[in-house]
Amino acid sequence: MLKSEINPRVFWGASALILSLLGITIALPGRADLAFKAAQAWTIETFGWFYIAAVAVFVVVVLALGFGPAGKLKLGTDDSEPDFPYLSWLAMLFAAGMGIGLMYFAVAEPIQHYISPPEAKSGTIHAAREAMAITFHHYGVHAWAIYALVGLSLAYFTYRKNLPLTLRSGLAPILGKRIHGPLGDAIDIFAVCGTVFGVATSLGFGVSQMTAGLGYIYGLPDTLTWKIVAIVLVMGAATLSVLSGADRGVRRLSELNLTIAVLLMLFVMALGPTLFLLRALVQNFGTYLDHFIMRTFTLYAYEPRAWMADWTLFYWAWWIAWSPFVGMFIARISRGRTIREFVIGVLFVPTAFTFLWMTVFGNTAIWLDLGTASGGIAQAVQANLSTALFRFLEYLPAASVTSTLAILLVAVFFVTSADSGALVIDTLASGGKEDTPRWQRMYWCVLLGATAALLLIAGGLGALQAATLLAALPFCFIMLLLAFGLVRQTNADLAGVTLPDEAAAISERLKRLVSPARRADILRQMTGHGEPALRTVYAAMQEEGWTDLRLEIEEGEITLTVDGQGDRPFTYRMRPRARPLAAYTALEASEARRSVGWTLSVETSPNVRKRDLTGFSTKQITGDLLSELERWRTR
């Protein structure tokens, strides 16, 4: 019998949803394609504004966390160190995040916006400038902010709060213990489905470009059958990679990918219009910054056009659907880094490389199309997007060599996307476990390949795009909750470390001798110190296998209850308590001041014990709770 490490409700629930959809797609391919298109049109019409607004929120939240006070918090314990060297970490971020998209759209997207811009006149210099600004917008900070938000939430709650490496953990500040029930399972099921369809879309683009390149260069047939064969071969390689784990297969392939990509980019830059590209890079970046806010909120509400659905809204949905995969992956490789280091690394370093990449390929393509190619590249893009890169390379020396290198690069990107995706989905479906049996990872590799293949059979890339857009919608709502939960938790943790050592706690307690606390002061201490302390112990007890736990947080009262040891349940209750002011306080000289002060009262049972923890730090409250638990268990 096969050993398994799965969360049965998530594993089989997600599998059933995915396989049911694929079964319907195969049984009714024509109707399924029409249904996909109808659902896509309805989603864009009804929720297009929501995608735009949500992504704007993600950008603001990630920047605020990275460059605000929370930036100093570590994704792990305060003394933890990063698991991977910085360069290897960046290579894995780049390869997992956007590899196939960069290869497929590096030439195709700028040229398409150049010949069919949303606002400028086609084929003009204005259109060329707008084309690069739009491309930067789609592949810039907005895309990486989506990934960063999910990655931050996963890494923070897993490595700092000791919760499982699953999406549900990020909602602990909102849902409490309910994340361990059906609601938490539903969140992880949505994450698995979104990841499968998001990665399948990337695989569809990748295999289409591979077979188109092989057909264009070597005359092999670019048919659906060959696409399926390519998926089988590359997914076989991905399976071998995923079995070796993130520290070996994925890491080595990512580093190889980055090396080949940089070599190809430098080749194009050196043999293309180098000085023009350097000038264009600076101007493209300036235009991007100038239009940043405007494009963030552009919906063409006053002049509706299909362009938004085909481009910006599809991209936002694609990145959102991909975010559980990329977010989980970058969380797994980012333990030990601070939030600020994470945001800088995830948000800006890959974005800078992407801008350079898109400028080198996109601006060179436009430059050639205006000159030597005389419109040939634009015609190739209109005829078949998948051959755009190879048609472009024909106008540079050693075209056969660089085209073969490009196919190899797409194949390696294909493998890294597939194996990273399978590792991530396996982690989600196993309740956060990272050391799972091999058959589980193989299962998800096979399902990813089957999804890409069957959706290509049903409706080509259009069906993949529609499935991605639909899968992203429910997860977009979940991401907004993740953002709220992350901000709430980091704020609580920051409040908990405002008194970081015992000396500060002593100072606070001495202050209360001459200036007794108000009820509002005690409530702030409960929120900033008491709640984080009880949550940390509660999460650690769950991790250690304790059962029958309840953590109840109400207005003015926090209670941790442990049922067990017969009729002797343990209760640790924290709440404000009023007390008369002592006669010797400095306040008795003023009759206008209040006649009572407030304390943070803690009561434990059985054998009721009451204590005053006013002024205690998070660490001190944690120690008090652990001492009481030890007293209870040893009696």
- How many whole angstroms separate alpha carbon 245 and alpha carbon 500? 38
Nearest to 465 by CA among 203, 272, 90, 201: 201
Lowest average pLDDT, out of 135-139, 513-517, 623-627, goes to: 513-517
pLDDT of 185 strictly over 50: yes
Q: Is the distance from CB of 155 to CB of 334 less than 8 angstroms?
A: yes
Delineate the domains of the chain, giving CATH numbers in brackets. Answer: 8-472 (1.20.1730), 502-633 (3.30.920)
Give the DSSP H/E element, type plus range, for residue 401.
helix 399-429
For 231-265, write each residue's pLDDT tens digit: 888 778 777 766 665 445 556 666 677 778 888 89
CB neighbour list of residue 363: distance below 8 Å, 6 or more residues apart: 110, 132, 273, 276, 277, 280, 281, 284
- How many whole angstroms separate alpha carbon 238 and alpha carbon 409? 14
pLDDT of 403 strictly over 50: yes
Q: What is the pLDDT of residue 248?
A: 55
Range of 209-213, 336-340, 407-411, 495-499 with top mean pLDDT: 336-340
The residue ranking higher by pLDDT, 630 or 313, is 313
For 514-527, write each residue's pLDDT tens digit: 566 778 878 888 88
Report the pLDDT averaged over residues 102-110.
Answer: 84
pLDDT-derived band at 498 (thresholds 50, 70, 90) equals very low
Q: What are the residue ranges of helices labelled H in 140-223?
A: 141-155, 172-175, 182-218
